Amino acid sequence: MVNIVEKERKIVIPKRFVGRLDIFLTDKLGLSRTSVKNTIDSGTVTVNGKLPRKAGDRVKPGDIVILHVEVGGEEDVVVDEKIIPKIIAQTRNWAVVEKPAGMLTHPTQAGETGTLADWIREKYPETKRVGDEPKMRPGIVHRLDREASGLLVIARNQKMFSALKEQFSRREIEKEYFVLVYGQVPREHETIDFAIGRAGDGHMAARPKVDATTLHGAANLQEGKLALTEFDVVKMYARFSLLKVKIHTGRTHQIRVHMFAYNHPVVGDTIYFNRKLMKKIDAPLNRLFLHSAHLCFTDLSGEKCCFDSALPPELSEYLNTLKRYEKPLEGQR
């Protein structure tokens, strides 16, 4: 017999967020939008002590959201069974998979199910003993944000895990992403080196460096860890830029935080965004426009292994809506 108890989870809407309840909870809980809507519709969510009229009700900073969750049963978390990874290549030492948008790489403190980690344990049982925290992250050396998609490498044994971890530490892993951002980026090639740290609301934050050698600047030094993001502009549109991005460090939300601090936030981002850049005429995109498209690492034999991933259909279709607004790059004029 399973004992079912009700547990309350209190969440205060942070200062930066003004928007829909379902979008906020989708990002906060790491669930699909459908799962969040079902949760709200079931009457287990209140905002400031009242039941929301609909999943899309607007919330503002300071609002108190309480989730009444049944713990101990088989339906603690609703899992979208249609969201499954695709195996790109595999050997006895590693596997390269394509994570779909909407799937968490591994559980958070909320103990979500239906994550990539759950799928890995089922598909590659040997990974249950691989990694620094195999119970939470079996064979997982790096991650992608839940609403991002694309390539990840999984270690199938401890030797490969250690080798990949060392390559990441030495910044020898090659990772490239396709990212659509708001606005016309002024430079076709740029490197962003803003340090990244955790802000007071729990999210990550970055800002441009200041002059550490002056007395005036010393009081405003950017706290946080070194972060390097390099990009090239692939296409330019009237109000957007498509970038190919390389990250040389692996900070939490690095690309999203850097582009937000650079005043060109990522399209579809529900945390790091500038409402002034968003227009009602824009086609809806119910995910983050961030896709891990290229990945290279070295296997145990010393061979360099490289893989590419095309844009998912929903991202390609979104770009098609922008075609008539495409602008030539500087070098094409």
**152-188 residue pLDDT tens:** 999 999 999 999 999 999 999 999 999 999 999 999 9
Mean pLDDT of 82-107: 91
Are both 202 and 224 inside the same structural domain? Answer: yes
Of the three residues 45, 71, 97, the one that is the final residue of a domain is 71
What is the identity of the amino acid at 298?
T
**Residues 160 and 236 placed together within one structural domain of the fold:** no
CA-to-CA distance for 292 and 101, rounded, in angstroms?
A: 11
**Domain limit, last residue, from 22, 42, 71:** 71
> Tens of pLDDT along 218-256?
334 456 788 999 999 999 999 999 999 999 988 889 999
Is 301 found in the same domain as 199? yes
Question: Is 151 in the same domain as 194?
Answer: no
Q: Is residue 77 part of a domain?
A: no
Same domain, yes or no, for 197 and 326? yes
247: which residues sit within 8 A by CB, 6+ positions away?
175, 177, 228, 229, 230, 254, 255
Q: Which residues are catalytic?
A: 145
**Residue 27 buriedness (CB in 10 A; 0-12 / 13-18 / 19+):** middle
Angle at 145 between CA 173 and CA 153, to 5 degrees: 35
Nearest to 273 by CA among 42, 10, 14, 39: 14
Q: In sequence order, which ranges of the chain are alpha helices (DSSP H)?
A: 21-29, 33-41, 116-123, 158-169, 215-218, 254-261, 313-320
Domain span at 179: 175-332
Which segment of 38-47, 106-115, 172-181, 184-193 scores lowest on mean pLDDT?
106-115
Q: Closest by alpha carbon to 315, among 258, 267, 282?
A: 267
Q: Residue 324: CB partners within 8 Å, gap ≥ 6?
A: none
- N-to-C CA span, the chain: 72
79, part of any domain: no
Residues 180 and 165 in one domain: no
* Inside any domain, residue 50: yes
On whether both 18 and 139 belong to a single domain, the answer is no
When the pLDDT of each residue in the chain is averaged and rounded to a whole number, the result is: 84
Q: What is the CATH number of the domain that holds 183?
A: 3.30.2350.10
